[in-house]
Structure formats: structure tokens, C-alpha cells
């Protein structure tokens, strides 16, 4: 499958995902038939290397596909956005180990990057114990990441000037226990529960480290943060879906008291135009930032500070703008918005409030970006 085929598959899934949305919310994870439809459509192979027969899509192409899914259901889109990281991990592993843990192109990965586990070095590998939060899609994942602080002889390994040494490990999903604690306002269907392991042996070959140089030379693996740009696809698609829904609603909706068609009201006309303007700005910023970063990497150069800042800021803005758009549309529709069975706006607003709490989307990260632009002495996330 190439980009065009996968993109068309994503568009074709829209009706199915809308029909399944109530069940997705109720089960608080993706039902098995949803996972299999996404898998069969190639949604989890987006980053798989061309050498393996995968599409190895650039970030802007990944975002376009995820947008299409998010128009119909943000939780499904989020699970694809996380689950397709399989191909990214492949680029940071020795070939035979990568082939062993990912024997098929359409395998789903889940896992958190915060080192919440402990990995004790033993003969042939590590004994891993820990509990990790926000394991989006972990209940249907084929492979799960375990990010840990490394221990040797009972003591944490320390790298001079950098503190404890941490890295990631991959293990089959069957080896982890899912903690059923994902009870949230929005993004309910992502199944982003905690997960844990205790004294799990992980062979040395399944250890990975998202630090350069990668083991593949493709542009996708020339920067360890190249798994982040696709996050923007979820809020951009969710906002697009909300606008499309409200436009269709307003074509036939009539005000209760005056019996005036809503489409003829200047207030509604202005809101629709404002929403389109805001989404257009957010989408243009996201795509221009990721494309500039990609073009830099194609020349085998690292992005400048300004390009790194724009990449991060555009992701924050995409999420924040999407929430503002959905809130505005929610108010425009009025009391009908609050009934989940009357349309998707209730879920869209809950989802937006929730995805805006992710570290990639939180306004608090602006402090770090500002510090980076100013050259200030401040803590800056290592993956910015």
C-alpha cells in the first residue's frame, strides 16, 4: 500500500467509525472489530520502512491520514497515531531483532516514554519491573514499550553530568498487565490505561534508544522526535469534523422562537467563517513547520532553533485552536449540543478538553519554547 491507497482507506472508514463511536466510548478502548478494520486498511504501517515493503510516509502524509480518521472519531485516530510508531522503533533496532519483534507490517505498538520502570542488568538482558501511565491502545497492542532507568548490581547506572541512564525495551503485548483505570472526560476510546510488569526478562536485543544515530539512514529516522509531528492530525481532524457537522446542521436548523433558518443569521455565518479561518491558520502552521523541518533533514542537516520551536508551537496551537473552534461551534448549535445522541459535538468537546492536556498540547510548554528561543537557563524537554 502507498500513501494514496492508505489515505483512501482512511476516508472509506469514516462511516464505520461514526457508527462505532458510541461503543468506542462505552468500552473505553477500541473494540476488536475496529482494531482489525484499521489494521486491514494499513493504518498501523505508516512508518514501516520501504525496505520491508512499508510506505515510510513523511510526517505531512501521516497527518493527512490521521486527520481523516479524526474527522469521524478522535479516539480511533489517536490510537492509530500511537500504534503506527512500530515502524519508527524499527529504525532504532538491530535488523534481526526488529524483524523478530515486528514480523508483520501491520503490528500495533503502545507505550509511554517516561522512564517509570526499573531494568536490572542480568545475563543476556534485563529484569524489568514498573508501572507506566497513558498506555494508549495498550489493550490491543502487539508490542509494548517499557521505558526504564537502568540498574546494575542494585544501583542505578549514572552517566556523568546527566544523571541516571534510561532507555526503552520492547516486549510482546501479552507480557504486560493492563490496569483498568482509564475513566476520563474525553478520548475515552483510546484505552490509555496504566500497564505494568513485574520481574519480566527482556533480552538485550529488544533494548532500544531513541538517540542518534539510528540504525537506518532514511529521513524518517534522522531525528529522534520524528514520531511527534503526526500528533497534530488528531486535533486538526477533530476540528474539521466538527465544522463539517455544524455546517450541515445549520443548513436545515430553524430557531425555535423566530422560526428563522440559522443559515440566514449573521451570527451563525460569522461563526462558521471564524472557525474556518482559525482551522486554516492552525493547519497551515502545522504543515509548514513540519515540512521545513523535513526539508532540513532531507539535506542531512539538523533543524535550527527556530524550526524546532515552530514545530512544537504549531502542535500546541493545533490543539488549542481546535478546542476553541469546537467550543465556539458548541455554543452556536446551543442546547442540542449537550445530547450525545443528537450529534458528535458533545464528544468532540470532551475529546478536545482531554487532548489539550497532553504535554505536546499544553500551554505550559510555551515556557520551555520561549526559554529555548531566548537562550535562557531553563529546563527544556529533551525531545523538543
pLDDT, residue 255, reads: 84
In the numeric block, which cell numbers belong to residue 312? 512544537
pLDDT, residue 261, reads: 92
Contact 30, 79 (CB under 8 A): yes
Mean pLDDT (whole number) for 294-306: 96
Percent of the chain with pLDDT over 90: 86
pLDDT, residue 378, reads: 77
pLDDT, residue 384, reads: 74
Buried/exposed code over 129-143 (b: 16+ C-beta within 10 A; e: otherwise): bbebebbbbbbbbbb
CA–CA dist 382, 90 (Å, integer) = 21
pLDDT, residue 28, reads: 97
Based on C-alpha coordinates, what's the Rg of the chain? 22
| Closest among 211, 203, 215, 22 to 100, alpha carbons compared | 203
Ordered DSSP codes for 225-244: TTTSGGGGHHHHHHHHHHHH
- State pLDDT tens for residues 46-63: 999 999 999 999 999 999
- State pLDDT tens for residues 213-236: 899 989 999 999 999 999 999 999
How distant, in Å, are the alpha carbons of 53, 99, 209, 245, 334 from that of 18?
Answer: 31, 35, 38, 12, 22
Q: Is the pLDDT of residue 13 over 60?
A: yes
pLDDT, residue 341, reads: 63
Q: What is the pTM of this model?
A: 0.95
Buried/exposed code over 6-35 (b: 16+ C-beta within 10 A; e: otherwise): bbebbeebeebbeebbeebbebbbbeeebb
- State pLDDT tens for residues 261-274: 989 999 999 999 99
Q: What angle do CA 383, 284, 337 make, to 5 degrees?
A: 95
How distant, in Å, are the alpha carbons of 208, 209, 212, 327 from that of 165?
Answer: 13, 11, 16, 43
Mean pLDDT (whole number) for 186-210: 96
Mean model confidence pLDDT for the chain = 94
- State pLDDT tens for residues 146-187: 999 999 888 888 886 678 889 999 999 999 999 999 999 999
CA–CA dist 73, 15 (Å, integer) = 10
At 143, is the secondary structure helix, strand, or coil?
strand
- State pLDDT tens for residues 374-383: 999 877 776 6
Where do the domains of the chain lie, and which CATH numbers do they carry? 3-101 (1.10.540.10), 109-208 (2.40.110.10), 228-374 (1.20.140.10)
More confident residue, 112 or 106: 106
- State pLDDT tens for residues 325-364: 999 999 998 877 777 665 799 999 999 999 999 989 999 9
- The kind and range of the H/E element at 20 are helix 14-27
CA dihedral (11, 13, 15, 17) in degrees, to 10, reads: -130
Mean pLDDT (whole number) for 58-78: 98
Phi, psi at 261, each rounded to 5°: -65, 135
- State pLDDT tens for residues 109-120: 999 888 999 999
Mean pLDDT (whole number) for 304-321: 97
Amino acid at each position: 500500500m502507498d500513501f494514496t491507497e492508505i489515505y483512501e482507506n482512511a476516508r472509506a472508514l469514516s462511516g464505520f467509525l461514526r457508527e462505532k463511536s458510541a461503543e468506542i466510548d462505552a468500552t473505553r478502548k477500541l473494540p476488536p472489530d475496529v482494531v482489525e478494520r484499521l489494521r486491514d486498511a494499513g493504518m498501523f504501517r505508516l512508518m514501516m520502512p520501504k525496505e520491508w515493503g512499508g510506505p515510510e510516509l513523511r510526517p505531512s502524509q501521516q497527518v493527512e491520514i490521521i486527520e481523516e480518521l479524526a474527522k469521524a472519531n478522535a479516539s480511533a485516530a489517536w490510537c492509530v497515531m500511537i500504534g503506527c510508531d512500530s515502524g519508527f522503533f524499527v529504525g532504532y533496532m538491530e535488523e534481526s531483532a526488529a524483524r523478530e519483534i515486528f514480523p508483520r507490517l501491520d503490528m500495533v505498538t503502545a507505550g509511554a516514554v517516561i522512564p517509570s520502570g526499573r531494568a536490572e542488568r542480568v545475563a543476556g538482558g534485563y529484569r524489568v519491573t514498573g508501572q507506566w501511565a497513558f498506555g494508549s491502545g495498550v489493550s490491543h497492542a502487539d508490542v509494548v514499550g517499557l521505558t526504564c532507568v537502568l540498574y546494575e548490581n542494585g544501583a542505578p547506572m549514572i552517566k556523568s553530568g546527566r544523571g541516571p541512564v534510561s532507555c526503552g525495551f520492547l516486549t510482546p503485548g501479552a507480557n504486560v498487565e493492563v490496569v483498568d483505570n482509564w475513566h476520563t472526560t474525553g478520548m475515552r476510546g483510546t484505552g490509555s490505561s496504566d500497564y505494568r510488569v513485574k520481574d519480566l526478562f527482556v533480552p538485550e536485543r529488544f533494548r532500544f534508544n531513541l538517540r542518534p544515530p539510528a540504525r537506518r539512514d532514511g529521513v524518517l529516522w534522522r531525528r529522534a522526535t520524528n514520531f511527534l509531528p503526526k500528533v497534530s492530525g488528531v486535533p486538526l481532524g477533530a476540528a474539521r469534523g466538527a465544522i463539517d457537522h455544524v455546517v450541515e446542521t445549520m443548513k436545515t436548523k430553524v430557531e425555535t422562537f423566530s422560526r428563522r433558518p440559522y443559515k440566514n443569521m449573521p451570527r451563525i455565518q460569522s461563526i462558521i467563517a471564524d472557525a474556518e479561518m482559525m482551522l486554516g491558520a492552525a493547519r497551515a502552521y502545522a504543515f509548514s513547520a513540519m515540512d521545513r523541518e523535513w526539508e532540513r533533514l532531507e539535506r542531512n542537516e539538523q533543524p535550527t532553533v527556530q524550526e524546532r520551536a515552530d514545530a512544537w508551537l504549531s502542535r500546541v496551537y493545533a490543539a488549542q485552536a481546535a478546542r476553541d473552534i469546537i467550543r465556539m461551534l458548541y455554543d452556536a448549535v446551543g442546547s442540542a449540543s449537550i445530547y450525545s445522541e443528537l450529534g458528535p459535538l458533545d464528544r468532540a468537546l470532551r475529546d478536545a478538553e482531554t487532548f489539550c492536556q497532553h504535554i505536546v498540547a499544553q500551554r505550559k510548554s510555551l515556557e520551555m519554547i520561549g526559554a529555548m528561543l531566548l537562550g535562557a537557563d531553563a529546563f527544556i524537554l529533551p525531545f523538543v
